[in-house]
Amino acid sequence: MTDQANIGPHPSFVHTRKQFFTQQEIEILSSHPKLRSAKEDSTRLQVVNLMDNMRQHIRLPTRTLATGVMYYHTFRLTRADLEYSPYDAASASLFVACKIEDTLKRSKEIIAAAKNYRLSAAEQIPWDSGNFDAGAKNAIGMERLVLETIGFDFRSRVPQEMIVKLCKYWCLPKDTVYRTAFDASLDLYRTYAPLKMTSGIMALACIELALKIHNVTLPSLDTTDEDGVTKQTGHRYATPIVKFADRGRVMETVHDLLDLYEHAQAPFTTRLGAKYSKDDFVRIKLEFKQIMETENLARYASSDELESDEIKQNGSTDNMDMDTPQSKTRSTTTSPKEVNGISKEESLREQTSMKEGTLRYMVDIERAKHEKEVVYDYFHDKTEEYEVEEEVPKPKRRRQ
């Protein structure tokens, strides 16, 4: 029997969604030729601003916008090799977010909102007319790609709810600090911070920026119980909700916001950029830099070194593939920018073309790892090479 007869079925690929990206991973993905253009930042701001205008026109909740923008950023980074319009991707992402957040809207309504939000009520075109059929078909066609990009994992991060709770907890002014922090949380989705941080980190960053803008300090960290005894909370934020918040990541998020407001189009595409001048943000940025120097904090809190196991189990489509006789053509020499013979950009980016095997999506990473361990022995070829030294007897000479 030949070796081909012993080859069993392909064990398939298991894809688990990558919930968080580090700054280095975002820079690696942004190195794609289509994303390195000078207009990419402006395009990102315009697209998110368009999604915000669409949300206001069809009256979608803020949570739906936050989910849709996160899906758009993920799709834009990991699917840059495909040919598509960023505006079609934005419509498809918002369409998927409407389904996930139970704010159902037809695809035609979303496409119509992109055109009607800038028109008067008399000039607006009804969404059920035939003018939006082509755009609706494009949105429905890209819906599958968006769902595959997020790995059918519908978890999202929304800092607005945390901002409301923290402002009530600290009794912060509603008309100044709260509104500024809420506007900053919406501007935060014009950056890549939602892909890197949790909801608590983003909420703290927005509140801290709002406190600095209005020159307001938090209440005393001392609390008094019912018996009148003063107790020290022992934490700078004085609440168990954010007890384990990383100060470095909060500062990183604040600087992401300040870098956004220094952008040339910030006054036209951001909420706080239209209310305050660039000089105010430059002054605030210098104050935060002094704070970071005092507390010995780096610009990016995430580590520059990425472990290969972290990359393999958190996002690449081949993170759970097994070794088979058909898949042993991978190079054995790797460079510093390669992991297991694959470049970091390829391992982070979606692999849309697979010649063999089935792609399955799984939410629980631990379950995927357990499945890999169970079937590993069935597909791993256990071979061992070793050298043995043997004495070879010298041949006897024949007598002539």
CATH assignment of 23-149? 1.10.472.10
Enumerate the β-bridge partners of residue 361: 15
First to last CA, the chain: 50
Kind and range of the H or E element at 261? helix 247-261
Q: How many helices (H) and strands (E) does the chain have?
A: 16, 6
| C-alpha to C-alpha distance for 46 and 271, rounded to whole angstroms | 13
pLDDT for residue 344 = 55
For the chain, which residues make up each domain, given as ranges?
Answer: 23-149, 160-222+231-295
**Beta-carbon contacts of residue 28 (< 8 Å; ≥ 6 apart):** 344, 345, 348
pLDDT for residue 360 = 76
The reported pTM is 0.74
pLDDT for residue 285 = 92
Show pLDDT as tens, one digit a residue, over the chain (400 residues). 445 545 556 667 777 777 888 888 888 888 887 777 767 888 888 899 999 999 999 999 999 999 999 999 999 888 887 778 888 899 999 999 999 998 888 888 999 998 888 888 888 888 888 888 888 888 888 888 898 888 888 888 889 998 998 898 888 899 999 999 999 999 999 999 999 998 989 999 999 999 999 988 876 444 444 444 444 444 444 444 456 678 889 999 999 999 999 886 777 888 898 889 888 999 999 999 998 888 888 888 765 444 333 433 333 334 444 333 333 333 333 333 443 344 555 555 554 444 456 777 777 778 888 887 877 776 666 777 878 888 888 777 776 6
Which amino acid, one-letter code, is at 114? A
Instruction: Please list the helix, strand and coil fractions of the chain in percent, rounded to the nearest 5, in that order.
Output: 55, 5, 40
pLDDT for residue 188 = 93
pLDDT for residue 205 = 92
Q: How far is CA 385 from CA 103, 221, 331, in A?
A: 61, 65, 19
Q: Which of 30, 13, 15 is nearest to 195 (CA)?
A: 30
pLDDT for residue 42 = 83
pLDDT for residue 219 = 60
Would you say the CATH fold of 160-222+231-295 matches that of 23-149? Answer: yes
CATH assignment of 160-222+231-295? 1.10.472
